[in-house]
Amino acid sequence: MATKTANTTSTSVKPDAVLASNAHHNQVILQGDHGDTTIQPHVVAKIAGIAVREVPGVHGLVPFGAGQTLARVARQVTGSEYRDLGVNVEVGKVEAAIDLRIVTEYGVSIPSIAAQIRENVSRRIMEMTGLRVKETNIEVVDLWFADDEAAPAPSSSRVE
């Protein structure tokens, strides 16, 4: 039996199964015995962003394009965090594809970090959404050096 809603068409299947991806928003819809659960793509992106930051040796994520860069600046001004910067997701019915832009710490094995990121992102997304991560593409865009952290400037007051 097919059910049509405003933005989504889904077919009745076993409880708690991933049903459909909205063609306009790529949202994931989980149908259970007591109702549907919709997961928006930005939620999957936030999960991935947090999972990446959990991996030792990752210094940070780098925004994709001007839109994410502007959002980053706006968030810095307001003091809020934007956990999905540097993360692009494509969400399907049962799978997700993840693109990441990262900065790694100098001296760590990039292949090792990449493997750890793929494992952690896949595990977290599966645990939290039920989606299987089909691929995780990682672009290392820079290295971070501990020496880059500027030491606080000494207080130079002209008066005592």
pLDDT bracket for residue 21 (50, 70, 90):
very low
**Residue 84 CB partners (closer than 8 Å, separation 6+):** 42, 45, 46, 48, 49
pLDDT value for 135: 97
Q: Is the pLDDT of residue 16 over 90?
A: no
d(CA 151, CA 153): 6
Domain range annotation of the chain = 40-146
pLDDT value for 155: 52
What predicted TM-score, i.e. pTM, was given to this entire model?
Answer: 0.69
What is the chain's mean pLDDT, rounded?
Answer: 76
pLDDT value for 18: 38
Q: Which of 151 and 57 is assigned the larger pLDDT?
A: 57
- The string of pLDDT tens digits covering residues 101-116 is 999 999 999 999 999 9
What Å distances lie between residue 90 and 26, 45, 108, CA to CA?
A: 7, 9, 29
**Percent share of the chain, pLDDT over 90:** 48
The dihedral sign for the CA sequence 55, 61, 64, 68: positive
Question: What is the CATH architecture assignment of 40-146?
Answer: 2-Layer Sandwich (3.30)
Q: Is the pLDDT of residue 37 over 70?
A: yes
